[in-house]
Each structure stands twice: as C-alpha cells, then as structure tokens.
C-alpha cells in the first residue's frame, strides 16, 4: 500500500514554504500515545531549519507545558515549554472572567489542570470542600468519584469550566474516550452545559498560540474537524487536515467543514503540494480524476495516489455544494468511491 505523496519538485518548493509559523496539534498529528507518527521528527526539524516558527497546541489538558515539551524532546522533536499551549491554560483564562483569583477550585484531571490553576493564583484542590468552581480536564486517573464530586458542586451553584470537548482521542492501542465524553457524563448528572470551554475550537486557544509564536502567514495542522479545523476557521488561519489520527477519508467526505489542505501526515509539509483543479465537470489532482455519476449518486475518483484522489473528490464536493446542498454529503446521499486504497 503506497500512500506517499510526490517528492519535492526540482525547484525544491514544498508546502511549508508558504508559511512562516506552523501550529501543530499533537495527538494524532505528531504522536499517537507514546509513539511518533512516522516521519514527524524529521518533518518538524526540517520545518524549523527552513526558518518557520513552530507551536504545539494541544487540547489534552492532563500534562503541563514542561511535560509536553519533555515528551516531544524525548521523541526527538525540538520543543521548549514556551512553544506549548494547552487547553488547561486557556480554561483558566476563561475561569478568571467568572471567579476571582485566590479562590479554591476543584480539579478534575491531570497535573496540567492543577499547575495552570496555581500559575494563575488559584488554590487547586482534589477535595471538593469549600470549592467555588470546577475545572474539568482529561487525566487517565479521573474516577467516578471525581465526576460525582464535580456534579454535586455544580448542582450547588459552582462555576464549571471544561478544558475541551474532544469526545475521543487516538492512543497507541486504538481510539479512547476523551474529555468530552467525561464532560457529557457530568452534563447528564447536572442537566446543563459548562459555563466555558477552553480548548480548540475556542478562539481564545488560537489567540494564545498566535501570541506565543507569532506569524504573518500561519498554518494550523490537525487531525480533527470539530476542534482543529473549526479552531483554525474561527481564527481565520488556513488549515491542514492529516489522516494520521482519528479522521478517515470517509469522514472528510461527510464533514461540514473544509480544510484548506489534505495530507496523509505531517510529512506532506515538506513535500510538493498538488492542488486539485477543475477540468470540464471533473476535478483533477496529479494523476487522479474525480467524476460525479448522477445515475448512482456517487463521486468516483481514480488514478494517482490515494491523497490525490481524495483532494480531487473533496474539491468536486465543495464545487457541488451550492447546487445540491451540503446535506447531500453529510447525510450520505452522495457517496465517495476512491477505489482501492
């Protein structure tokens, strides 16, 4: 199975040269669990050598920026804590609009939540007594007891901030429940939504990232439409979706959002990017051609690499949206046929 894109062309033009700052999501983009996504280390190194700013933007609230940077360095990816933005930091920024610093705040989640609260001047607590707010983030140790204590506090009037709402995230063993699933458990108990949510797609997350690693031509790279791509769109930043994490080609087809670039993985940043272009009523990309067959309500893409077929099909989809409506795709009336993968 060969999913690789073409190599850099003779002129040496590669995708990342169009940008001066790259904002990477982490889980499913640079690593899955403890393992590097193939080629991620070399790619980030090469991007940095080409003079591009690099930031790491994670909705995973369980770890501190120091721990995230240390994990990246361990994998071989150059990273400083100042390049890392976590949803815990942004959740605590939002908390400050509701609760004065110095108050006691109940922590659900890992040490990342705790440290962000302490850095801002709150008193983080693992005991719910005398707490006026709850900050809920992911942590592998989160228990039913934590969720129950949080629910009791919220029912008693406490402010409730969630670090992020990702329903799942990829691990080395498969797809696991994310913080959004645990927030949903509390929501079922308390009958209302959180008072604020920190991570992508919230604009505050991208604002903090742009302040940490400024760029005039930034690009956001992520593996999820509902957080990464939606976050980039909310902040007016171009986006690149990679298929190395939770999103599959069929999800691209059914998405109601459009990523500016589609790649198998971050390695696409240091390769030539072939755009799809219109050709009669079809779209072509490299050696691929995507055609709509009305008789069986199917877009069929053939030739080229899998990614060229997907880019051609995605461009054809978005060119058809005005005529047939987005629901024709999101609800599956028009299907995608990419041929053999």
| Residues found near Mg ion in the complex (CB under 5 A) | 25, 27-28, 223
| Catalytic hit among 25, 146, 166, 282 | 25
Q: CB-wise, 200 or 274, nearer to Mg ion?
A: 200
Query: To the nearest whole angstrom, how small is the minimum distance from the Cβ of residue 282 to Mg ion?
Result: 33
Q: CB-wise, 246 or 271, nearer to Mg ion?
A: 246
Distance CA 107, CA 146 (A): 8
Q: CB-wise, 36 or 103, nearer to Mg ion?
A: 36
Q: CB-wise, 238 or 303, nearer to Mg ion?
A: 238
3-state secondary structure the chain: CCCCCCCCCCCCCCHHHHCCEEEECCECCCEECCEECCCHHHHHHHHHHCCCEEEEEECCCCCCHHHHHHHHHHHCCCCCHHHEEEHHHHHHHHHCCCCCCCCEEEEECCHHHHHHHHHHCCEEECCCCCCCEEEECCCCCCCHHHHHHHHHHHHCCCEEEECCCCCEEEECCEEEECHHHHHHHHHHHHCCCCCEECCCCCHHHHHHHHHHCCCCCEEEEECCHHHHHHHHHHHCCCEEEECCCCCCHHHHHHCCCCCCEEECCHHHHHCCCCCCEEECCEEEECCEEEEEEHHHCEEEEECCCHHHHHHHHHHHHHHHHHHHCCHHHHCCCCEEECCCC
Query: To the nearest whole angstrom, how small is the minimum distance from the Cβ of residue 201 to Mg ion?
Result: 12
Query: To the nearest whole angstrom, how small is the minimum distance from the Cβ of residue 171 to Mg ion?
Result: 11
Query: To the nearest whole angstrom, how small is the minimum distance from the Cβ of residue 275 to Mg ion?
Result: 25
Query: To the nearest whole angstrom, how small is the minimum distance from the Cβ of residue 113 to Mg ion?
Result: 18
Residue whose C-beta lies closest to Mg ion: 28
Query: To the nearest whole angstrom, how small is the minimum distance from the Cβ of residue 144 to Mg ion?
Result: 26
Active site residue 20: no
Count CB-CB contacts under 10 A for residue 236: 9
Q: CB-wise, 14 or 57, nearer to Mg ion?
A: 57
CB-count exposure of residue 176 (10 Å: 0-12, 13-18, 19+): middle
Active site residue 27: yes
Q: CB-wise, 25 or 115, nearer to Mg ion?
A: 25
Distances in Å between the alpha carbon of 65 and those of 88, 204, 260, 283? 10, 17, 28, 43
Tokens of 139: 């942590």
Query: To the nearest whole angstrom, how small is the minimum distance from the Cβ of residue 249 to Mg ion?
Result: 17
| Catalytic hit among 27, 195, 226, 282 | 27
Q: CB-wise, 149 or 168, nearer to Mg ion?
A: 168
Distance CA 159, CA 157 (A): 7
What is the set of active-site residues? 25, 27
């Amino acid at each position: 199975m060969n999913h690789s894109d073409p190599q850099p062309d003779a002129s040496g033009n590669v995708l990342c040269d169009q940008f001066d700052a790259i904002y990477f999501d982490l889980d499913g983009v640079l690593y899955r669990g403890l393992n590097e996504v193939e080629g991620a280390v070399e790619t980030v190194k090469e991007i940095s050598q080409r003079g591009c700013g690099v930031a790491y933007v994670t909705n995973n609230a369980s770890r501190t920026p120091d721990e995230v940077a240390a994990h990246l360095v361990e994998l071989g990816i150059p990273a400083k804590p100042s390049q890392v933005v976590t949803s815990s930091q942004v959740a605590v920024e939002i908390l400050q609009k509701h609760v004065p610093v110095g108050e006691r705040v109940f922590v659900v989640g890992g040490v990342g939540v705790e440290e962000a609260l302490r850095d801002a001047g709150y008193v983080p607590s693992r005991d719910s007594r005398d707490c006026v707010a709850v900050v809920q983030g992911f942590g592998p140790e989160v228990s039913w007891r934590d969720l129950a204590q949080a629910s009791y506090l919220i029912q008693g009037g406490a402010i409730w901030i969630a670090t992020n709402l990702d329903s799942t995230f990829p691990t080395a063993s498969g797809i696991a429940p994310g913080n959004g699933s645990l927030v949903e458990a509390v929501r079922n108990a308390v009958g209302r939504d959180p008072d604020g949510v920190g991570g992508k797609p919230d604009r505050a997350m991208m604002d903090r990232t742009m302040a940490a690693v400024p760029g005039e031509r930034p690009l956001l790279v992520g593996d999820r439409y509902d957080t990464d791509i939606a976050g980039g769109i909310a902040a007016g930043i171009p986006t690149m979706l990679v298929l190395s994490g939770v999103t599959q080609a069929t999800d691209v087809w059914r998405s109601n959002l459009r990523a500016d670039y589609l790649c198998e993985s971050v390695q696409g940043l240091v390769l030539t990017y072939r755009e799809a272009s219109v050709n009669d009523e079809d779209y072509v990309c490299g050696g691929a051609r995507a055609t709509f067959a009305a008789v069986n309500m199917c877009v069929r893409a053939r030739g080229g690499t899998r990614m060229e077929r997907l880019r051609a099909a995605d461009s054809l989809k978005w060119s058809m949206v005005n005529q047939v409506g987005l629901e024709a795709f999101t609800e599956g009336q028009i299907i995608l046929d990419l041929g053999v993968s």
